[in-house]
């Protein structure tokens, strides 16, 4: 497909918001169907995870963040980074199977196949919202709640664009190469430790920092933590991540639209 057709698909995405909303709703409900507490797990799961972090890192390891603000627990610094990273991880890890999971939709000529990779992104956003709610409550509990936490949803926009671009790219590859469903989660797990989630970027050795600066996830994680702490926002890094995310989204969609004519045959 041409660049014009790719941009046309991009402009048409808002028209399919109701259909996308229904697919996301179905995806989330199916995940919790049959569970005793049902969708309440969306709130209980991050709450339990935060409680475990507080116990392990606060009482057993008694970990401290480098230059940790007075009274700010290590586990909240860690949790803020995980909210950002998990939004990307959930989207990308599930991306290779998104198109393959809906063969009947793909073979319908009138179905907008390009919205399928957005389903795990939508589900990830819902889980991130509940995680952010838990984080906000925890910050209020320890007495470190800042008004700048309201910037958190805006600051993760580069991660949304980055995840979306990879989702379009990997979902297309997943149609032709089933091994992608096994390969991608391994790389995402590696990326977790190569991103400043368990440590600040300032802890990275000096000679490695130029390499770490190339990771847009790191810039967003550091920016989100600054908002959580009420510090000044490093907008330069955030804008660079935003530009990279936008470019990734456009390239991913272009690849997806180029490959989608072969989806029906491959499935």
55-90 residue pLDDT tens: 888 778 777 777 666 668 889 999 999 999 999 999
HSE-up of 227 (CA within 13 Å, CB side)? 24
- Return the DSSP state at 69: P
Q: Cα–Cα distance between 185 and 166 in angstroms, integer?
A: 13
* The pLDDT of residue 158: 97
| Six token digits for residue 99 | 């198109």
Max intra-chain CA distance, the chain: 60
- Number of separate domains in the chain: 1
d(CA 115, CA 124): 15
For residue 241, give every residue at least 6 positions away whose Cβ sits within 8 Å of its Cβ, in sequence order, or none.
158, 159, 162, 216, 217, 219, 220, 223
The per-residue b/e assignment along 117-133, b for 16 or more CB within 10 angstroms, e otherwise, is bbbbbbbbbebbebbbe
**Per-residue confidence (pLDDT) for residue 213, from 0 to 100:** 84
With a cut of 50, which residues of the chain have pLDDT below it? 1-2
The whole-angstrom separation of Cα 119 and Cα 115 is: 7
| DSSP 8-state class, residue 234 | -
Structure confidence at residue 196 (pLDDT): 92
Could you tell me the sign of the dihedral formed by the alpha carbons of 21, 26, 27, 33, in that order? positive
pLDDT score, position 68: 66
* Count of positions (residues) in the chain: 267
What is residue 38's predicted lDDT score, i.e. its pLDDT? Answer: 78
Measured between alpha carbons, how far is 267 from 262 in angstroms, rounded to an integer?
9
The answer to whether 113 touches 201, Cβ cutoff 8 Å, is: no
Q: What distance lies between CA 179 and its chain's CA centroid?
A: 22
Q: What is the pLDDT of residue 103?
A: 83
> Is 57 within 8 Å of 63 (Cβ atoms)?
yes
pTM, full prediction: 0.90
66 three-class SS? coil
Burial class (CB in 10 A: 0-12, 13-18, 19+), 71: exposed
Nearest in space to 191 (alpha carbons), one of 74, 94, 89, 97:
89
Structural domain of 84:
3-266
């Amino acid at each position: 497909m041409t660049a014009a057709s790719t941009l046309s698909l991009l402009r048409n995405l808002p028209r399919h918001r109701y259909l996308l909303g229904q697919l996301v709703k179905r995806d989330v409900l199916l995940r919790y169907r049959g569970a005793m507490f049902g969708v309440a797990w969306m709130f209980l799961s991050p709450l339990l995870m935060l409680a475990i972090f507080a116990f392990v890192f606060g009482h057993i390891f008694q970990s401290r963040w480098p230059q940790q603000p007075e009274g700010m627990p290590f586990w909240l610094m860690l949790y803020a980074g995980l909210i950002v990273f998990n939004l990307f991880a959930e989207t990308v890890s599930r991306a290779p199977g998104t198109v393959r999971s809906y063969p009947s939709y793909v073979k319908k000529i009138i179905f907008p196949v390009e919205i399928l990779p957005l389903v795990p992104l939508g589900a990830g956003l819902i889980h991130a919202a509940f995680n952010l709610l838990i984080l906000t409550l925890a910050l209020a509990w320890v007495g470190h709640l800042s008004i700048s936490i309201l910037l958190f949803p805006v600051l993760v926009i580069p991660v949304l664009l980055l995840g979306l671009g990879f989702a379009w790219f990997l979902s297309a590859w997943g149609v032709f190469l089933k091994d992608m469903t096994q390969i991608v989660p391994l790389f995402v797990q590696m990326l977790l430790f190569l991103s400043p989630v368990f440590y600040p970027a300032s802890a990275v050795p000096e000679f490695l920092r130029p390499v770490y600066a190339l990771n847009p996830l790191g810039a967003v994680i550091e920016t989100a933590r600054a908002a959580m702490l009420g510090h000044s926002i490093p907008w330069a890094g955030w804008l660079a991540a935003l530009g990279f995310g936008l470019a990734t989204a456009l390239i991913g969609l272009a690849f997806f639209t180029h490959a989608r004519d072969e989806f029906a045959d491959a499935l």
